[in-house]
Structure formats: C-alpha cells, structure tokens
Chain A
Amino acid sequence: MFRQARWGTDSGLEPLVFELSRQGRRGCAFRPERLSEVEIPENMRRTSLNLPELSEPEVVRHYTRLSQMNYCIDLVFYPIGSCTMKYNPKICDEMASLDGCTQVHPDQDESTVQGCLELMYRLERALAEITGMNRVCLHPAAGAHGELLGLLLIRAYHGWRGDARDEVIVPDSAHGTNFASAAMAGFRVKVIPSDARGRVDMEALEAAVSERTAAMMLTNPNTLGLFEDRILEIAELVHGAGGLLYYDGANMNGILGKARPGDMGFDVVHLNLHKTFSSPHGGGGPGSGPVGVSEKLERFLPVPLVQHDEKTGRYYLDYDRPDSIGKIKAFYGNFGVLVRAYTYLLMMGEEGLREATEAAVVNANYVRKKVSETRGFKPAFDCACKHEVVFSAEPLRRETGITARDVAKRILDYGMHAPTYYFPPIVPEALMVEPTETETKEELDRFVRAMHEIDRDARENPERLCSAPSATAIGRLDELRAAREPILSWRMYVKAGRS
C-alpha cells in the first residue's frame, strides 16, 4: 500500500519559498559595525534584492517537506531506462565531503592540492583502462557535453589533416542528444534506419558513408538494450571511408568489465559517471561526462591535462598542449562527481565492477522474461537484451486503448518510479526498463507483479489507469500546457499572474 507524502494547503501544494517570505524575517543577524566596506562598481550596484525572507526553521521545514515529496532513488525502485539509476553508495558522498575535497579551490597552487590532482590522475588512468582508450579528459559536465567535446575533437582531427568532412552518421534509435551535439559541432546529421533486429541497417550504412563522413556515433548496447553484434564490420566500414567512430557511453552498464569500446574499434568514448559510476543524478546535474580518446586524437584534448612526473612523484596541470582545442569548461571538471566515481571504483574493484555488470544484465533479462508473460506487454525484439529491456505496450493499447503513458503513471501508484516511455521512438508504445544491479529479487518481483496487475486492470478496471497516478503528491500533469506555457522562475510566475 503506497501513499506518497503530501504537504500542502487547501488550495495546493507546499507554497513557494517566495510565497513564504515575510518582510523583515531573518535567518541570521548581522552587526553592521562588524562588516567591512566593499567597493562595488557604480553600474553593478543594486537598490533591491528581492530575495525571500525567512527564518532558519522555516527554511529547514520547507525543504524537508519538499524532500519528502521527492520521488527519489533513496525511497523507491527507479527503473528509468538508459539512466542507470543504481543506488548511490553513501561512502561516496562521505568521501566527496571530506575537507580535502571541499575546502579547496581550483586556483590554488598545485603544490597545495596534490591529493586532488592525484585522485584525478588515478581516476583518468582507471577510466582509460576500462574503455580501452589512451587518455581521458575529465572536464565535461554531462554526457551531452562529452558528446560535443568528442565531436569537436573529431573536427579538429580532420581539420588538422586538411580533410574537411561535414557529415556525422547517427542511427535513428539514438538518444536525441546525439543529433543535437552533432549539429552544435557544426556537422550535418545523416540518420540511418535500424533493421528488423533492432540493429544498425548495414545496407543503409554502406549507402550513407562517403568521403564526407567525419564520424559515426553509436551506443553499444544500443538504446534498445541490444548489442550491436556487427560492430567490427561497422568500424571497418566507417574507418575505411576515413571517418572516426564515436562511442556514446550511456549504456556502459551493460558491458563494463566484459568488453571495451577501444577493442571494438571506437576512437572516442564518453562515459556518464553519474550513471555507470553511480553519482546522484536526475535533477539536472551535476554530472560528469569524461571523454576518452585513442592515440590519434590525444593532441587535441582540452587543457589542462593532469600529468604525473614519475621522477619527482609530482602531479601537475599540463597546459603545454599546442594542438589542444582549448577549454570547454571552467577549471577541470565537476570534482565532487569525480571523487564519488573514484570512490565507487575503489570500492567495487575490477571483480566487483564485472559482477555488477553481470547482475545488471541478469536483472534486465529476468524482468524481460517475467513481464513478457503478460498479454499486453511484449519485448520489442526477440532476443536477450543487455542491461535494459524495451517493451511495447502496443498489444495492450490495441486491445484496451490503455497507452504506455497510462501504464507509466499507474506504476507510480505502486511506490516505484515509472520506466522511460515513448523512447526509443522506433518502438510503438515503448517502455524502457533498466532495473540496474542494485535491486533485490524481491524488488524485481514486486515490479513484475505490478505490471501483471496493470495488464489485468487495463481489461477489468481501466479507470484505475486512466486516472493514475492517485497515490502521489500530485496527480497527472497537463504536459501539453506545461510545454506550451512554461513557468520556470519566480519572475515568470509573477508575470503570469499566479502569485
């Protein structure tokens, strides 16, 4: 029996912090005579700040109430496909909050932050080994940021060779960021269809590669959770045309420790540390999308690179890289996320990582088998998957009119987060389930039971599904209106007349 905490008033939910504000209320008192004069330039001076005014207990209560209404991984099963919402071990948070990690500044003299630099260096070496790459840049703040960096490196490579190429090939099952990153990096995007087995259509690929091909972007296992078994042929085809192969590491949890992108022929790899290496995520950041490269792209990596002087044992930031494309982020990466990822690696060890991958794959296939025993949900493809499985709820929709969206909303009523739905777009009524390795068999069985019950309810009690979710703090949202009339800030809220 699940019921989510709900804090609110008669007219709605917990008010906004601006609405709780009362003029003159203070969190702490300043003694003006204790403050020193600061010279603020004339044109930067403000006369009002419009910050909410609350006491400390009010602030604590407000945010605690919000946190109780947060549908989060520390509370519930979170099988969002491709996001890899595995449990975030608390030791990682503990390490990231050590003074040596938090009470430092990136502009400090290198000699005073040797520990931080050493951590980054060791992490980089480990990620290079895991991916089969030569060097890794830890700077990107997100997976998509890593994609952009990877494509900029590819552009630099072709430019340096005097061979301007302007096309990037992307499969139609790819995550939307792939198309966007390629476009942002100034490339034309060439989309190729997936074949009946859900893999890259080789005939289409052969027609797509040309002397204009700068790169092909691939996720492996792909967004359908299927391993691209012809990857060596694909690599040969793309390389043969003079293009490079880019690996989107969003699905690394399906192969970590069992196979390496470098061995498959990839030239550039990005990882999502917040996914595979278990940093808390799902709120828009912070993330970390390190990019690994083979030898041929090393010279273009952004500055600085963390280097280790074997002789002196000293770690230092190397800015002396004449062919570098420059900086893609301030400082050296989202350090807190790097610390968590490094802690995770040390905690798991090589064997632990391998076991985690195996468990992730077993869990996904278990769910695949058990849920396919319903009438309404069928796996999109007829073969074993890796760490995630895509179902189609099309049989359910055809028989009862209940859609994947209805199913997803109803799952929330069981005290579990909904899987990804309507992605990838090439599967009708798609539901993408990624249990990850950190769930018990009991939890997986709970999910399976929920899916069977939903399947039955679609036929016998459809009203339960159409009105779902009802056990959550908020009911079904008007997504269309939210997309058409977004209110994203207090200022917009006031302007829309809602305050």
Chain B
Amino acid sequence: MKKLGLVVNPIAGMGGRVGLKGTDGPEALRRAIELGAEPVAPERAIAALERLIPLKDQIQLITYPGEMGESEARKCGFDPVVVGEVREGQTTAEDTKDAVRRMVELGVDLILFVGGDGTAGDIHDVVGNRVPVLGVPSGVKIYSAVFANTPEAAGEVAALFLSHGLPFREAEIMDIDEEAYRRDELAADLKGYASVPYEPIMMQAGKESSSGFETADQKAIARWMVELMERGRVYILGPGTTTRAVAEELGIYDSTLLGVDLIVDYRLMKKDVNERQILEAIEGRPASIIVSPLGRQGFIFGRGNQQISPGVIRKAGRKNIIVLATPQKLSLTPVLKVDTGDPALDGELRGYIPVITGYMQTHMVKVL
C-alpha cells in the first residue's frame, strides 16, 4: 500500500490578497490578519485531495493534526493516520518541518504539500531530495519548480504517481528574499534541488514528454559543450544540473551545484565565486558565460546567479553567452526571461537566442 504524506501550511497565501507578498514570520502573519486576510490553503488542499478520492482505499494518508492536513483530509472522506501535535491557529515553519520529519520516518512514498516557496524551502531543509515532493500551489511566491499548475492538477499528478508510477526529475527550490520582495526587488537564490514526479502537461503546459531520458539529454548537451570549448578561454559556469553535467563531462566532480564556478583549459580554476572574483579572473582574457534556465519562470539571469552581474556580462560580451537547456526543461519554460539588474542590458538580451538542447543541436528560444 502506497503512503501519501499530506502537510498543509494553513497560512500560506494569506499575504497575497492583502498585498503583503508573503507570510514568512509571525510579524507578517499578524499584519496580514489585521488587514483582513483569510486562509486560502485549506480550500486548495481540498481541491487537490478530491482528485485522490478514487484511490482512498488503495493508499494510506498520513498527515498532521487539524488545519495542517487532518481536517482537510477528513472533509474529503479520508481516514488519515495523524501524527504530531499542533496548537490551533499558531502554526509555524517548525510544525511543517516536524510533520515532514515524522512522515519520512514512516516511509511515505510522496509528500504532498500545500503552500508556496517558503513551505517548499522548509520541507526541503528536512527532506532534501530523499523523498519525492509535490506542491499544491497556495502561496504568494511560487518560483520553485515543484508545483503543479493548479490544485486539481496536483491531485491528478499525485494520483498518477501513486497508482501508475511516474519518472522523477530534479526540480529547483528557489529561496526568495521576502523583505526584498516587499521592496519590489526580486532577489532569488537557488536553495537546492528536490525530487519531483515528472508529468509535463500538468506540472506545466508542456509540449514534449520523455523525462526519463533527461539525464541522457544533459550528457549529450554536455558533450557538445565540451567539444565547443577553447583553450585559454574562461568559462563561467552557472548553477544547475545541466551545467553540472558539463563539469562532469570534463571529469570535474566537485563543482558546485548552487554556485558559479570557473573553468579554464578543461579544468576547474575556482569554484563558488562571487562577482569580484569573476571579474578578476576574466580580466584581459576571452570569456564565455554558460547558463541554464532556473526555476519555473525560465530566468537565465537574475535568479540564483546574480554573481554573473551586468558587469560580468558586459565584460564577457553578449555574444559569448551560451544557454543550455534540455528539451524537457524548455517544455516547462518555453520562454526565457532576464533580470540582470540593469534594464538596459536586459533590453539588449531580448529576442530569439540559440539554446543548446542536444548534441550539435540548438533551439531558437525567445527571451522576454
């Protein structure tokens, strides 16, 4: 019998309608309630669970008490196993983490969570990529790639996963700085990677489907990228699993997944560098930037790789930007975006660019 872990963040999304851009922290939550915010997570949880009702007798639902999953599950006719304890109306990130810790101990096959990037990040802190997770979108910030399109879609994907099985992919967990977000600045970091069921149509309007082979496609891209590399040129390698495949193709196994690394003459020159270090390294030398779209939004600059600053981009040269993306990735993000921090540079980067999608193969993709 398959075990499904359900954890609902009851306050996720409350900051949205009242314009608070999130509810990370008790202060923000208090403000939201003052402004008349109503919980939205519970109804979204129910919308997702309704799609799992046909599997009611074939799966064991494990959840946290009250508004963190139990009440939503019972409303849908489930008889869940309830673990942990909670103080009504005062749930915190610690509760989310405790819930997930217990579920992992009980050997759940999938963690279905209701929340946003904050919740996804909390869960990731506990689970990493050891257990597959799937997000029911109910947050203000939904930049991570672990969410389905809609609550109903999340329920469908979970049902498919539990009944038929689905392949996995590694999906980015993005960490949005909420304070900056409130100041209308979007500063995102790549927090890590989660394991997510792959279903191209419901996780995002996808065009292609063959995810089991994504690692093969990454290897093909990496092999071609390595063939294109020239001696004496500094390659600024951005974060991500596809760029990591390039490092591995060169026999480099200690490159950073979340940071920016420098490769020269087929060797790792320096890893996890900041802007200053990049600028020093490329002073007076030809340089190329290798990036991959991160998260769901398809950003190639400005999310998780701010070290590759406008200064770096200008010094390396616009025509030395190389974008890598598997066809599966492109099906999730058919349009690419840029947010370098310099609007003029952003403007120059817009238009159609070639993206390496395979061995000796590129796709023309629009950058908005």
Contacts from A to B (Cβ < 8 Å): 172, 179, 183, 187-193, 201, 203-208, 425-426, 428
Q: Identify 8 residue pairs between A and B in the complex whose beta-carbon atoms are under 8 Å apart, listed by A's number.
A: A183-B360, A188-B362, A189-B360, A192-B364, A193-B365, A204-B352, A208-B354, A428-B201
Q: How far is the CB of A432 from chain B (nearest CB, A)?
A: 16
CB-nearest residue of chain B relative to A193? B364
Given that A207-B351, A207-B352 are contacting pairs, would A191 and B207 also be in contact in the complex, using a CB cutoff of 8 Å?
no
Query: Which residue in B207, B208, B361, B366 is a CB contact (below 8 Å) of A183?
Result: B361
Q: How far is the CB of A176 from chain B (nearest CB, A)?
A: 12
CB-nearest residue of chain B relative to A172? B363
The complex places the Cα of A112 from the Cα of B203 at a distance, in Å, of 67
Q: How far is the CB of A208 from chain B (nearest CB, A)?
A: 5
Contact: A190 with B352, CB < 8 Å?
A: no
Contact: B352 with A191, CB < 8 Å?
A: no
Of residues 332 to 368 in B, which have CB atoms within 8 Å of A's CB atoms? 334, 351-354, 357, 359-366
Given that A426-B207, A428-B207 are contacting pairs, would A207 and B360 also be in contact in the complex, using a CB cutoff of 8 Å?
no
Given that A204-B352, A207-B353 are contacting pairs, would A179 and B364 also be in contact in the complex, using a CB cutoff of 8 Å?
no
Query: Which residue in A188, A426, A428 is a CB contact (below 8 Å) of B361?
Result: A188
The complex places the Cα of A271 from the Cα of B359 at a distance, in Å, of 28
Contact: A189 with B364, CB < 8 Å?
A: no
Query: Which residue in B334, B357, B364 is a CB contact (below 8 Å) of A207?
Result: B364
With contacts A189-B361, A204-B366 known, what are 13 further pairs, Cβ within 8 A?
A187-B360, A189-B360, A191-B361, A191-B362, A191-B363, A192-B364, A193-B364, A205-B364, A207-B351, A207-B364, A426-B207, A428-B201, A428-B207
CB-nearest residue of chain B relative to A190? B362
Contacts of A206 in B (CB 8 A): 352
The complex places the Cα of A190 from the Cα of B364 at a distance, in Å, of 7
The complex places the Cα of A203 from the Cα of B352 at a distance, in Å, of 8
The complex places the Cα of A131 from the Cα of B282 at a distance, in Å, of 55
Q: How far is the CB of B223 from chain A (nearest CB, A)?
A: 13
Q: How far is the CB of B123 from chain A (nearest CB, A)?
A: 29
CB-nearest residue of chain A relative to B363? A191
CB-nearest residue of chain A relative to B200? A428
The complex places the Cα of A201 from the Cα of B353 at a distance, in Å, of 13
Contacts of B361 in A (CB 8 A): 179, 183, 188-191
Contact: A191 with B208, CB < 8 Å?
A: no
Contact: A189 with B207, CB < 8 Å?
A: no
Contacts of B201 in A (CB 8 A): 428
Contacts of A183 in B (CB 8 A): 359-361
The complex places the Cα of A207 from the Cα of B363 at a distance, in Å, of 11
Given that A190-B354, A425-B208, A428-B201 are contacting pairs, would A204 and B364 also be in contact in the complex, using a CB cutoff of 8 Å?
yes
Q: How far is the CB of A464 from chain B (nearest CB, A)?
A: 19
Contacts of B363 in A (CB 8 A): 172, 190-193
Q: How far is the CB of A431 from chain B (nearest CB, A)?
A: 16
Contacts of B351 in A (CB 8 A): 207
The complex places the Cα of A179 from the Cα of B334 at a distance, in Å, of 20
The complex places the Cα of A498 from the Cα of B357 at a distance, in Å, of 40
CB-nearest residue of chain B relative to A480? B212
Contact: B366 with A191, CB < 8 Å?
A: no
Contacts of B353 in A (CB 8 A): 207
Nearest 9 CB-CB pairings of A with B: A207-B352, A204-B364, A191-B363, A189-B361, A192-B364, A188-B360, A204-B352, A208-B364, A190-B362
Q: How far is the CB of B151 from chain A (nearest CB, A)?
A: 15
CB-nearest residue of chain A relative to B334? A193
Q: How far is the CB of B320 from chain A (nearest CB, A)?
A: 16
Contact: B360 with A191, CB < 8 Å?
A: no
CB-nearest residue of chain B relative to A166? B360
CB-nearest residue of chain B relative to A187? B360
Contacts of A203 in B (CB 8 A): 352, 366
CB-nearest residue of chain A relative to B224? A188
Q: How far is the CB of B351 from chain A (nearest CB, A)?
A: 6
Query: Which residue in B208, B362, B365, B366 is a CB contact (below 8 Å) of A189?
Result: B362
Q: How far is the CB of A199 from chain B (nearest CB, A)?
A: 15
CB-nearest residue of chain B relative to A203? B352
Contacts of B364 in A (CB 8 A): 190-193, 201, 204-205, 207-208
CB-nearest residue of chain A relative to B156? A401
Q: How far is the CB of B312 from chain A (nearest CB, A)?
A: 24
Q: How far is the CB of B332 from chain A (nearest CB, A)?
A: 14
The complex places the Cα of A63 from the Cα of B208 at a distance, in Å, of 40
Contacts of A201 in B (CB 8 A): 364
Q: How far is the CB of A118 from chain B (nearest CB, A)?
A: 43
CB-nearest residue of chain A relative to B352? A207
The complex places the Cα of A191 from the Cα of B207 at a distance, in Å, of 14
Contacts of B362 in A (CB 8 A): 188-191
The complex places the Cα of A203 from the Cα of B366 at a distance, in Å, of 9
CB-nearest residue of chain B relative to A167? B362
Contacts of B208 in A (CB 8 A): 425
The complex places the Cα of A58 from the Cα of B113 at a distance, in Å, of 64
Contacts of B354 in A (CB 8 A): 190, 208
Q: How far is the CB of B160 from chain A (nearest CB, A)?
A: 10
CB-nearest residue of chain B relative to A207? B352
The complex places the Cα of A183 from the Cα of B224 at a distance, in Å, of 13
The complex places the Cα of A192 from the Cα of B357 at a distance, in Å, of 12
Contacts of A179 in B (CB 8 A): 361
Contacts of B360 in A (CB 8 A): 183, 187-189
The complex places the Cα of A203 from the Cα of B335 at a distance, in Å, of 14
Q: How far is the CB of A482 from chain B (nearest CB, A)?
A: 15
- Chain B 177-219 near chain A by CB (<8 Å), digits 1 or 0: 0000000000000000000000001000001100000000000
The complex places the Cα of A191 from the Cα of B325 at a distance, in Å, of 13
The complex places the Cα of A189 from the Cα of B357 at a distance, in Å, of 10
The complex places the Cα of A85 from the Cα of B320 at a distance, in Å, of 48
CB-nearest residue of chain A relative to B362? A190
The complex places the Cα of A207 from the Cα of B354 at a distance, in Å, of 9
Most chain B CB atoms below 10 A, which of A188, A189, A191, A203: A191
Contacts of B365 in A (CB 8 A): 193
The complex places the Cα of A190 from the Cα of B355 at a distance, in Å, of 9
The complex places the Cα of A172 from the Cα of B207 at a distance, in Å, of 11
Contacts of A191 in B (CB 8 A): 357, 361-364
The complex places the Cα of A188 from the Cα of B359 at a distance, in Å, of 8
The complex places the Cα of A192 from the Cα of B362 at a distance, in Å, of 9
The complex places the Cα of A458 from the Cα of B299 at a distance, in Å, of 40
The complex places the Cα of A205 from the Cα of B366 at a distance, in Å, of 11
Contacts of B357 in A (CB 8 A): 191
The complex places the Cα of A314 from the Cα of B74 at a distance, in Å, of 90
Given that A189-B361, A191-B357 are contacting pairs, would A208 and B352 also be in contact in the complex, using a CB cutoff of 8 Å?
yes
Contacts of B359 in A (CB 8 A): 183
Contacts of A428 in B (CB 8 A): 201, 207
Q: How far is the CB of B355 from chain A (nearest CB, A)?
A: 9
The complex places the Cα of A190 from the Cα of B334 at a distance, in Å, of 16
The complex places the Cα of A149 from the Cα of B365 at a distance, in Å, of 29
Contacts of A193 in B (CB 8 A): 334, 363-366
The complex places the Cα of A363 from the Cα of B351 at a distance, in Å, of 41
Q: How far is the CB of B305 from chain A (nearest CB, A)?
A: 24
Contacts of A205 in B (CB 8 A): 364
Q: How far is the CB of B293 from chain A (nearest CB, A)?
A: 15
Contacts of A188 in B (CB 8 A): 360-362
The complex places the Cα of A229 from the Cα of B334 at a distance, in Å, of 25
The complex places the Cα of A116 from the Cα of B22 at a distance, in Å, of 80
Contacts of A426 in B (CB 8 A): 207
CB-nearest residue of chain B relative to A191? B363
Q: How far is the CB of A424 from chain B (nearest CB, A)?
A: 10
